[in-house]
Amino acid sequence: MGFIAEYDELVMSEKTTFQKVCRILLKQTFLVCDRSEEYRKLYFFVRKHQEMFTDYFSYMGYEVVIDQDNKVAMLRNGRNDGVVVNRHRFRKYESIVLCCLWTIYVDQIREGNLARPIIITVFDLRQAMEKYGVKEEMEGKGMLRDTLDLFSRYQLIAVNGELGSPECQIRLFASLQFALDTEEFKRFAAESDERMRKVKKGKDFYEDEAEEDEDAT
């Protein structure tokens, strides 16, 4: 059964839901089941009609992929042609924050925090950025706020509260792990490790100098 025949079998309310899901995927790339009750219903609608969605989006060079373990539906570039669509190129500092958020998310999962949602504070994020030696680069000029707003639009996170408030929280969605380019993260991790080794080496050097000064007195 082709797309048109399958679509014609939908009742009016289902057609409206189909249209709504298409607009969400085109605008946000991801549809996260755990975001809200409304998104939960939309996610299961996509699961039920995945083939129909894939047929529809294939004309635009997309395929609809569903990760049932993480309950995330997403648009992905089609495999059978050379068309590259639906790919946002992050700036360097945006990639850095994305890598930090992804690292926090993975650490939470590894520690057994499988319960959803996974919520962190802005302080947690800044600690991760400081760990990789990039915190100072992101402070000021609203760079962090703008970056988090961008990730929110793509359904990677949700920010609850004002960024400067102690009560501000960042909810991490499972879609984070699908937005990250693996090679880009490897480069980030390698550069960060090198930066941390240099920092540690410099720290050890100054500590050794201080000890020598103490011995001389």
Q: Which residues contact 155 (CB under 8 A, 6 or more apart)?
A: 28, 29, 30, 31, 32, 35, 173, 175
DSSP letters, 142-160, are THHHHHHHHHHHTTSEEEE
pLDDT at 174 over 50: yes
Model pLDDT for residues 182-216, shown as the tens digit of each residue: 666 666 666 656 655 665 555 444 445 445 555 54
pLDDT at 179 over 90: no
Q: What is the mean pLDDT of the chain?
A: 81
CATH topology of domain 92-205: Arc Repressor Mutant, subunit A (1.10.10)
In single-letter form, the type of residue at position 63 comes to E
Model pLDDT for residues 33-90, shown as the tens digit of each residue: 999 999 999 999 999 999 999 999 988 889 999 999 999 999 988 765 555 555 677 7
Mean pLDDT, residues 91-114 = 83
Angle, CA 94 vertex, CA 93 and CA 98 arms, to 5°: 115
For the chain, the domains span 3-77, 92-205
Model pLDDT for residues 144-167, shown as the tens digit of each residue: 888 999 999 999 999 998 877 878
Cis peptide bond upstream of 117, omega within 30: yes
pTM of the model: 0.78
| Minimum mean pLDDT range among 58-62, 88-92, 99-103, 125-129 | 88-92
Mean pLDDT, residues 20-45 = 96
Instruction: Read off the pLDDT band of 3 (50, 70, 90).
Output: confident
